[in-house]
Amino acid sequence: MISVIEAKNIIKGKVQALQPRKLAIEDAAFLTLAENIVAFDDVPAFAQSAMDGYAFNFNDFLTENTLLVEEEMAAGDNKNIVLKRGQAVRIFTGAVLPENADTVVMQEKISLVKNALIIKDEMLKCGSNVRLRGSEIKADEIAMRSGASLTPSAIGFLASIGIDEIMAFPKPSVHIIVTGKELKKPGEKLLHGQVYEANSFSLQAAFHQVYIRNVHIHFAEDNLAILQKELATALQHADLVILTGGVSVGDYDFVLEATRNCGVEQHFHKLKQKPGKPLFFGMKGQIPVFGLPGNPSSVLTCFYEYVLLALEKMSQQKEFIRSTKKILTNSIEKKAGLTHFLKGLYKDDKVAPLGAQESYRLSSFAQANCLICLEEEKSVFEKGELVEVHIIH
């Protein structure tokens, strides 16, 4: 068995980024940019009004007795208005500022006597309420750098400077193979000895949590030929393959043999941890393959601790799970030699381990918002001690 730290370093070292793809920006949300984006024009491309109001030359306002409103400019108008001395124009937000105008007064700060403009804004300064050309970004400036996260605001910014396509690291296509002849789908009638299958549901939801929706679910009985066929097919189509169950060394555990027969190179099997001790990780070319234990709590723990590491490398995302320190609310004892991941509930700067920590139980995981990471060699953790916590919600 290897340690948790060794296993995570192996994953980080073996898994590679997916090839970037050219995508329409509307299809790139929550991806990572794979190129520098350069503005091809000034934005805005012209001086424009930031308010509904009246545009004029500020010097005229200081020297003339009266400013006369002669014309109107709405957003989208492309007429060329040149202000004469003592003139102003009615203007609307986003409209082109007339030539010779340099200031806009908002409509709430004026009064009109016929077409004579009376300004009642004591705080008005030259340049007020004007968006200058290139004030957002200038032509040939870098708008976003490679590695930036394409958040909703980033997508909007790119659209606002005229970018319609970008190169980005895609999210992987995932195939999940669920093993076990005892499993039935929720809603079906259980016979004696059968249980409801939950792992595909929790895993699919966990992938959705990190905006991965290209997830395909397959089922295989505890039969080597059937499992091997499913795995071979998945390896032809997937960027990432996950198997649940059948990863130990029992008479009906065929995952290890199936992976070998399908050409998957094993990098580790069995970790010094609880739960999820029999975790398997291998690679078929550039495709990561995880064999997760069948117990539902082990599956989710291994997903958050290991599968997400692979996803971060593949999609070039920043950390999906935030690691921090919290104050333990009560003492915990464990045997030395295994890293323990406990389902926990944190609030503010404190964290409490939950009950029902057994690997087959999901009831406490349904309440948990973190995993408490208890280091391998330590056996006693005192109340009030700072412990490592991995935030999952």
Residue 139 three-state SS:
coil
pLDDT at residue 51, as a whole number: 96
Q: Exposure pattern of 296-335 as b/e (b: 16+ CB <10 Å)? A: bbbbbbbbbbbbbbbbbbbbbbeebeeeeebbbeeebebe
278, two tokens: 């029999």
pLDDT of res. 94: 96
Is 104 within 8 Å of 130 (Cβ atoms)? yes
Q: What does the alpha-carbon distance between residue 374 and residue 227 come to, in Å, rounded to a whole number?
A: 35
Of residues 234, 105, 98, the one with CA closest to residue 179: 234
pTM of the model: 0.89
- 360: part of which helix (H) or strand (E)? none
Where do the domains of the chain lie, and which CATH numbers do they carry? 4-18+171-315 (3.40.980.10), 21-43+135-169 (3.90.105.10), 48-131 (2.170.190.11), 322-391 (2.40.340.10)
Comparing C-alpha atoms, which of 228, 254, 231, 250 is closest to residue 242? 231
The Cα–Cα gap between 323 and 341 comes to 13
- The series of mean pLDDT values per 10 residues for the chain, 393 residues long, is 97 97 96 97 97 96 89 94 94 96 96 92 95 97 97 97 97 96 91 93 96 95 92 97 88 87 97 96 98 95 97 93 95 95 97 95 96 96 97 94
Token pair in block for residue 9:
């370093």
299 phi and psi, to 5 degrees?
-60, -50
- Comparing C-alpha atoms, which of 203, 206, 193, 200 is closest to residue 179? 200
| Separation in Å, CA 363 to CA 66, 342, 344 | 76, 13, 12
| pLDDT score, position 82 | 93
pLDDT of residue 5: 97
Structure tokens at 163: 């970018």
Would you say how long the chain is, in residues? 393
- Characterize the bridge pairing of strands 370-374 and 142-144: unpaired
At residue 70, the pLDDT reads 87
